[in-house]
Amino acid sequence: MDITNQIITRSAPAKLNLYLHIVGQRADGYHLLDSLFAFTQNGDEITVRGAPELSLEVTGPFAGSLAAVGGLNADNLVMKAALLLRSHAGIKNGAAISLSKNLPIASGIGGGSADAAATLLALNDLWQLDLSLETLSALALRLGADVPACLHDRPLHVSGIGEQIKASSLPKDYGILLVNSGEALSTPAVFQAFHADGYKPSVRLPCRQPKESADFIKWLLEKTSNDLQAPAVSLCPAIAPVMRDLSAINGAMMVRMSGSGATCFALFQTVSEAKQAQIRIEADHPKWWVMADQLVP
Ligand code: C5P
């Protein structure tokens, strides 16, 4: 078997749910969503190069937290993605995979899903499999509901359990500040709390998304929500002060929790406003994880 010297790097950006409505539940327990996904420019990074065996090395500020939850073995979504792709293609190729883990784990911003999606794309290239996006999406769904969406790194309207994806767009390249106070939240636990707290599937489907920025923000605030936010706060009260401090920042146009939490975000007109806000939050809360970036429009 030839081992290529090629090195391929793909970014695995953070995924934000600008809104997240739970609109139903399937017989197998999975929830039906209606959500607008947007992606940051930066996040984790996957690098792959040819090697006789499959291996995974994790570096970066959150490498330790991944190891602590036992995430460095075959259970890691990156390794699962590599093994699934290899068995689908019927090959025995290896790859040395390196993950730079810059995003906090279990935090509602799709880190693990984005890592798995980036692995599928990078290995599809490294192993010259030439699989279509459609085939990769079907494999991605077997790894997790959010993984198909993370194969794209631009705004998407997502429905079904995460597999129905339509290209969308944002009115502009908003600045964004992501903040996490350091507590991991389990997605199934948040869905359980959603039911235990008596929350009902949302019947609201927001009307057409406005194209003008001011109308878009007004629409997000007035017509949409994150239905998992209240149950997440009930499990993790530390979310409330994050929301409060983000809301107090001048220029924060909209503040919300992403996914099943606990990461919260604020949208700004520009990335420089988001960076100013980062300085302020970091000064007040040196232990919180804070990242200022730009949303891909
Ligand atoms: O698919 P993924 O592994 O990301 O989902 C983790 C858990 O979150 C699922 O086992 C399920 O309990 C819950 N989930 C859900 N509905 C979705 C996505 C996830 O109920 N659409």
- Does the pTM exceed 0.85? yes
Q: Among residues 282, 286, 285, which one has the least CA distance to residue 274?
A: 282
**Model confidence pLDDT, tens digit, residues 135-186:** 999 999 999 999 999 999 899 999 999 999 999 999 999 999 999 999 889 9
- CA atoms of 157 and 167, how far apart (whole Å): 6
The reply to whether omega before 262 is within 30° of 0 (cis) is: yes
**Model confidence pLDDT, tens digit, residues 3-50:** 778 999 999 999 999 999 999 999 999 999 999 999 999 999 999 999
Q: Among residues 118, 52, 58, 112, which one has the least CA distance to residue 85?
A: 118
The class that CATH gives domain 7-167 is alpha beta
- CA atoms of 194 and 233, how far apart (whole Å): 11
C-beta of 293 in contact with ligand 1 (< 6 A): no
Q: Is the pLDDT of residue 202 over 80?
A: no
Gap from CA of 275 to ligand 1 centroid (Å): 33
Cβ pair 50, 113 in contact under 8 A: no
**Ligand 1 atom 10, closest CA:** 188
User: Residue 70 has what pLDDT?
Assistant: 60
C-beta of 227 in contact with ligand 1 (< 6 A): no
Q: Is the pLDDT of residue 75 over 80?
A: no
User: Residue 71 has what pLDDT?
Assistant: 58
Cβ neighbours around 27 below 10 Å, total: 5
Contacts of 171 (CB under 8 A, 6+ apart): 210, 211, 212, 213, 216, 297
Strand partners, 180: 289
User: Residue 78 has what pLDDT?
Assistant: 96
Gap from CA of 276 to ligand 1 centroid (Å): 35
Gap from CA of 250 to ligand 1 centroid (Å): 35
**Ligand 1 atom 7, closest CA:** 188
Annotated active-site residue 15? The verdict is yes
Q: Is the pLDDT of residue 236 over 80?
A: yes
- CA atoms of 13 and 84, how far apart (whole Å): 22
C-beta of 10 in contact with ligand 1 (< 6 A): no
Q: How large is the average pLDDT for residues 224-234?
A: 95
Residue among 30, 33, 164, 199 to mutate when testing ligand 1 (max atoms within 8 A of CB): 30
Q: Indicate the pLDDT class of residue 200, thresholds 50, 70 and 90.
A: confident
User: Residue 145 has what pLDDT?
Assistant: 92
**Model confidence pLDDT, tens digit, residues 246-286:** 999 999 999 999 999 999 999 999 999 999 999 999 999 99
User: Residue 2 has what pLDDT?
Assistant: 66
**Ligand 1 atom 15, closest CA:** 30
Q: Indicate the pLDDT class of residue 203, thresholds 50, 70 and 90.
A: low
Q: Is the pLDDT of residue 72 over 80?
A: no
Annotated active-site residue 28? The verdict is no
Q: How large is the average pLDDT for residues 109-127?
A: 96
Q: Is the pLDDT of residue 207 over 80?
A: no
Cβ pair 256, 265 in contact under 8 A: yes
Q: Is domain 175-294 annotated with CATH 3.40.190.10?
A: no
Residue tagged active-site, from 44, 115, 146, 293 = 146
List C-alpha distances in Å: 214 to 155, 209, 217, 255: 18, 12, 5, 15
C-beta of 15 in contact with ligand 1 (< 6 A): no
Q: Is the pLDDT of residue 229 over 80?
A: yes
Domain residue ranges of the chain, discontinuous segments joined by + = 7-167, 175-294
User: Residue 77 has what pLDDT?
Assistant: 94
> Considering the chain, what is the average pLDDT of its residues?
93
